[in-house]
Structure 1
Amino acid sequence: MTKIEKTFPAGAVIFHEGDPGGDIYIIKSGEVKVYQVRGGSEILLAQLGQGELLGAMTATTGTPRTASVKALTETVVTMIGSKDMEKLLKDIPPWANILIKDLIFRLKFMNEIYIQSVSAELGNRGHQDLLRTATRLAKGILANARVQEKEIDGATVVDLHSSFSPLLDIFLAEKDMFLKIYNLFLEYRLLELKELRQVGKFLSKEELLGLQTFYDMAHQHLGVIPQQKKAPPALAVGERKALLALATWARAEPLDQSGRMVMTLAECENRLAQSLSRQHIIHVLQRASAWNLIHLDKADVRISFRPDTIRHVIASMNLIHALESESSPLHQASIP
């Protein structure tokens, strides 16, 4: 195998986005940044140093470079040519080739999501930065989850470590922020991890639906995705708390075949009366109906709802408010 050593001064571009791929670089010393340029602005993807690889993604696919790399300090790299890489890849076991292709797919997919998200945000920054970062984290976990689903104990779940940890490796500059937001996902009960007999923490399909609900609502709130219709009237903190308590109670009760709780209006009022005044309850139910959280059957004087739908939407509302607010997030005590 032929190895060529090259030295790049600080500020020199090692390769540009769109250049032919194939060669791989191992950083022997120095530091580089990996970036893309969109709308005249530079978007940082990673900052790499000694012992790390450059160009591995396109070396295995033969496609053009997906990003540019610039030396931040004087940088020495060892280059392995594309022909040598082809010989090396032919010698590895078939299962390793499958694993590499899977990792490349996920990395490319998450990079595309990240670039699209950041590009839409450039020039429109402010106190909503935390919320925007949260949408990137949610989308990244969802993207990873699509290739991480597996059956355990008869349930379809996603290993949290496999879907979350790679994001921290890719978005190094936002690692602390992502961890903070992930903890808020748990605090506001957007995610409730599933523990099975296998070691680890897992996300169920319901939790992924909740994460998708948050992503969609946050993007509509930020104006990235236009509202399909006029936004329904807002729910106050106390109203959200009462509806979330109703959904939490219903999850432990028998549901119909479609996963819905069906009860009389009087039964529902009695439940909500533990948190709300009776004269206020009907207005809350009407607003909840406008959010499609519950279905009011006025003819039979009954209501029906999916507990997890209420939980996902209310948790997303609480989290959006907390992330967007310039003050500290809502206190845990406000959530039942």
Structure 2
Amino acid sequence: MRQDIDLEDEDDRDSIVRTFHKGAVLFKEGQPSDVAYIIKKGRVAIYRLVNNKRVGLGERGPGEMVGEMGAVGGAVRSSFAEAVAYTEALVCDQRLLRTMLLKSPRPVQLLTGYLVERVRALSEQITDRPSGNAFWSVCRVTALCWQGAVRSGAQDLSYAELSRTLKDILLLSQIEIDAVFDRLKKLRLVSLTDVQGSFSREDPLLGRKKPGTKFVRDRLLRLPDADNFLAVAKNVAREYRDRAEFGVDLEFFDLADFAREAQSSPDILYKKIGYREIPEELFFFHKARAQAYIEAMGLEFFRQARRPRLAAADLARIDDIVSVDNATLQEAFSALGFHKVAVALGAAGETAREKILKNLSKKIAAVVREEAAALGEPDEDEVADVEKELLDRIKAIKGLAS
């Protein structure tokens, strides 16, 4: 049977199919809803941004439609749509969708209208959550509650009370909490014991109460291996992070979160930012707070940057030599020898390398640079020895070590 979409001219067929590369945005929240897309190939993720957090609403694949609710209802887009793989989609404009709807039976038209309003109301109720990984967040809060219970002498946790705590902190539903603990129970990371209860009823003939139907009043939760609970749960959480399920992902996170994700520390990241080892496009400032900070500090504060000075006693690694004066470095390098200076050069960061070469004569710098290149990947043990000797020599020159 021929559909309205078949009425397009043969020459125009290619014009109603659009392609999107991975990461391309089909539409954004707040844009006019003039067309919908039927996915022929690829996958599209649907999400909303709520208070700087990406709230995933699911994915659509071949044969499924995206953007139809806005196009049918005539409202602006209520979400974002992004291609998660190379995608080909058939464009259906508003006129075509409404024509198809008008040709459908009246009950179908009424039902469609009801569903559009229902989805719109549910979309408005979507909220952000404090965590990008609900599974890992539940595990962390559970571990903290367990520690508190153990300190107070308790041997188990009330599942009902723990659930209330998780709802208050993480804004999760009971269904999501139950799903997490079902998974933890299967992995034997937690044990759950049902606490039975029953409603009593009065026997009208004997005049006394009898127990009624039993029900699960609560569940008692225990961590069989509390010491390793978080370590194992963290590995499981990594599996959930890459799944395309309903959940929340942070669109932005702070430097501390960045450090945790990279298994590093903020101090190291600060240095890498200063050395320009991390691309500047990864970092953003909150506009209102940044403007307030600029106003509080004054423009003069931002016109000159001074490198924080390290005391000789605080030198801990090769890259710290950027805080050492040139005369001391030249004396230390002279005592160290060509080969060890080359090892230090190969292990140093960009700014520290510039500092080393700056304090060598052109002829010696060329030799050291050539030897450092010949060494290739520096040996960790040799680097550690050279680093210790160099810093010890600097401290000795400063009168802090023999």
Structure 1-normalised TM-score?
Answer: 0.41
Q: Give the structure, 1 or 2, with the largest relative contact order (CA under 8 Å, sep 6 or more).
A: 1
Structure 2-normalised TM-score?
Answer: 0.35
